[in-house]
Amino acid sequence: PVVNASSIPTFQADIWQRFDGGHDVVIVSPDTGGVARSRALGKALNNENLAIIDKRRPKENISEVMNIIGDVEGRDCIIFDDLVDTAGTLCKGASALKQQGAVSVHAYATHAVLSGKAYDNIRESDLDSLTVSDTIPLTNNARGNKIRVVSIASLLTETVHRVATGTSVSALYDMV
């Protein structure tokens, strides 16, 4: 059997703890393709505040932020993405959100590829923090560079256990 395991339950718990339940933050999709994923996180947090970063990619690993769709002024923003590679797009998005009046910008991404100048981009950016899961090991110098790691090991362990025992997996991910 194939199961699409989501990091949302783990990120939801972290956001609840860090952002007083996560009800007053704005969940930000990094692009139009990530809206469904961002809505799912918002649903898990009982939060309908959504913004979208409208961008274009003139070439691979290069993006230009065109517009912010949604109201972020005076709000804490959480960009939610599936992966971060060079972090160029993420950092440009954080700057655009701050230019639109966001108080803080935090990002959550399931997979931290972090290639090229990613660490420098993050360190020098308007991004307040980047929280990633432990699906890809990070170098020791990556931690503390605005980067936090949360483990999804227990979630994956429980998912595999439920598949192996024929127990409902969907109950783990009902909010997703």
63 or 54, which is more confident: 54
Residue 60: CATH number of its domain: 3.40.50.2020
Does residue 1 belong to any structural domain of this protein? no
Give 128-166 pLDDT, tens digit per residue: 999 999 999 988 767 677 999 999 999 999 999 999 999
Q: Which residues contact 6 (CB under 8 A, 6 or more apart)?
A: 40, 173, 176
Q: Would you put residue 45 in left (φ > 0), alpha (ψ -120 to 50) or beta?
A: alpha
Residues in the chain: 176
pTM for this predicted structure: 0.91
Catalytic residues: 55
Edge-to-edge strand order for the sheet containing 62-69?
62-69, 50-59, 26-29, 76-84, 104-112, 129-133, 147-150
Does residue 176 belong to any structural domain of this protein? no
Number of domains the chain is built from: 1
Q: Which domain covers residue 111, as residue numbers?
A: 8-169
CA-CA-CA-CA torsion sign (148, 154, 155, 157): positive
Give 37-62 pLDDT, tens digit per residue: 999 999 999 999 999 999 777 777 56
